[in-house]
C-alpha cells in the first residue's frame, strides 16, 4: 500500500506538482499517461464526459486538442466551463480540475498540428467528429480524398484546434491504507484571477 504520509504539497505550485505526477506516470502507466476524463455541460445542464489527451500547458492552463464542431467543442464554446479527472492506476493517484475554458490561439494550434504524424493530420481533415457516419467506407473515402488534396504537409483544418482549461480548483488525491486517502485541494484565492495565488486545503477522504 502506498504511504500517504509521503505526500505533502504545502508551499508547492499545483502545476509543478501536476508535472511531477505526470512524469512519474509516464514511466509507470502502460499507455496514455496523459489521458484525462474531460467533463462538459450542455447549456441546459446535461453533463457529458469523454477522454482526451493533455498535450501541453502554460503557467495557468492545461492544453488539449479536438474538432471544433464536435459535441464537446460546442459545449465548451457555449459554456466556457469544464472539469477533468486523471486517474493513474499504477500510482493510485488522481488529479481533478475545474475551470474556465477557451480556445488556444491559432498559432499554438498550428504548431501542435504541424508536430503530428501525417496520418493524424489527415485524420483530422477526414473526421466530422461526433456527426453521424453512414458507413466505415464513407470515412475511408474521406481519408483518401484528404490524402489526394494534401499529399504532403497538410495545413491545420479551420475546424480543428486546441483549448486551454484554466483551473480555479485542482485537487490531488493519493491512495492511503484502509481507504484513509490523502486529499489536498488548491483553490485560487480569487477564482477568475490566476495570479491571485492558491489556498491549499486538506480534505477528508
Ligand X SMILES: Cc1cc2nc3c(=O)[nH]c(=O)nc-3n(C[C@H](O)[C@H](O)[C@H](O)COP(=O)(O)O)c2cc1C
CA distance 200 to 205: 15
- Residue 138 interacting with ligand X (CB under 6 A): no
Q: Does 133 bind ligand X (CB under 6 A)?
A: no
Q: Does 143 bind ligand X (CB under 6 A)?
A: no
Decide: residue 36, CB within 10 A, 0-12 exposed, 13-18 middle, 19+ buried: buried
Report in angstroms how near the CB of residue 159 gets to ligand X at its nearest: 12
Residues 62-91 that bind ligand X (CB under 6 A): 64-67, 70-72
Which 3 state secondary structure label does DSSP give 55? Answer: strand
Cβ proximity to ligand X, 131 vs 196, nearer residue: 131
The dihedral built from the CA positions of residue 188, 189, 195 and 198, taken in this order, carries a sign that is negative
Q: Which of 96, 179, 187, 202 is catalytic?
A: 179
Strand bridging mode 62-67 / 81-88: unpaired
Q: Which CB atom, from 21 or from 64, has the smaller least distance to ligand X?
A: 64
Q: Which of 17, 22, 41, 52 binds ligand X (CB under 6 A)?
A: 52
The C-alpha angle with vertex 153 and arms to 148 and 155, in degrees rounded to 5, equals 90
CB of 197 to ligand X, least distance (A): 31
Residue 179 a catalytic site member: yes
**From the centroid of its chain, how far is CA 105?**
16
Nearer to ligand X among residue 8 and residue 32 (C-beta): 32
Burial classification of residue 149, based on how many CB atoms lie within 10 Å of its CB (0-12 exposed, 13-18 middle, 19 or more buried) = exposed
The least CB distance from residue 63 to ligand X, in Å, is 10
Given 17, 22, 35, 91, the residue binding ligand X (CB under 6 A): 35
Residue 22 in the binding site for ligand X (CB under 6 A): no
Q: Give phi and psi for 80, each to the nearest 5.
A: 70, 20
Nearest approach, Cβ of residue 4 and ligand X (Å): 28
CA-closest candidate to residue 162, choices 32, 50, 72, 48:
72
Annotated catalytic residues are 179
Residues that bind ligand X (CB under 6 A): 32, 35, 48, 50-53, 64-67, 70-72, 129-130
Amino acid at each position: 500500500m502506498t504511504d500517504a504520509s509521503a505526500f505533502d504539497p504545502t508551499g508547492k505550485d499545483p502545476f509543478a506538482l501536476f508535472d511531477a505526477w505526470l512524469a512519474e506516470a509516464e514511466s509507470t502507466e502502460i499507455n496514455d499517461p496523459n489521458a484525462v476524463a474531460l467533463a462538459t455541460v450542455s447549456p441546459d445542464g446535461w453533463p457529458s464526459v469523454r477522454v482526451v489527451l493533455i498535450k501541453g500547458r502554460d503557467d495557468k492552463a492545461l492544453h488539449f486538442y479536438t474538432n471544433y464542431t464536435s459535441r464537446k467543442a460546442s459545449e465548451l464554446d457555449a459554456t466556457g466551463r469544464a472539469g477533468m479527472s486523471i486517474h493513474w492506476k499504477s500510482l493510485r493517484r488522481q488529479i481533478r480540475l475545474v475551470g474556465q475554458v477557451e480556445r488556444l490561439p491559432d498559432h499554438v494550434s498550428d504548431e501542435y498540428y504541424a508536430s503530428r504524424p501525417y496520418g493524424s493530420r489527415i485524420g483530422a481533415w477526414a473526421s466530422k467528429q461526433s456527426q453521424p457516419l453512414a458507413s466505415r467506407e464513407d470515412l475511408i473515402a474521406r481519408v483518401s480524398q484528404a490524402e489526394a488534396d494534401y499529399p504532403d504537409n497538410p495545413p491545420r483544418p479551420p475546424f480543428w484546434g486546441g483549448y486551454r482549461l484554466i483551473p480555479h480548483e485542482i485537487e490531488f488525491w493519493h491512495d492511503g491504507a484502509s481507504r484513509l486517502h490523502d486529499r489536498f485541494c488548491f483553490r485560487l484565492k480569487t477564482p477568475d484571477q490566476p495570479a491571485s495565488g492558491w489556498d491549499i486545503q486538506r480534505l477528508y477522504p
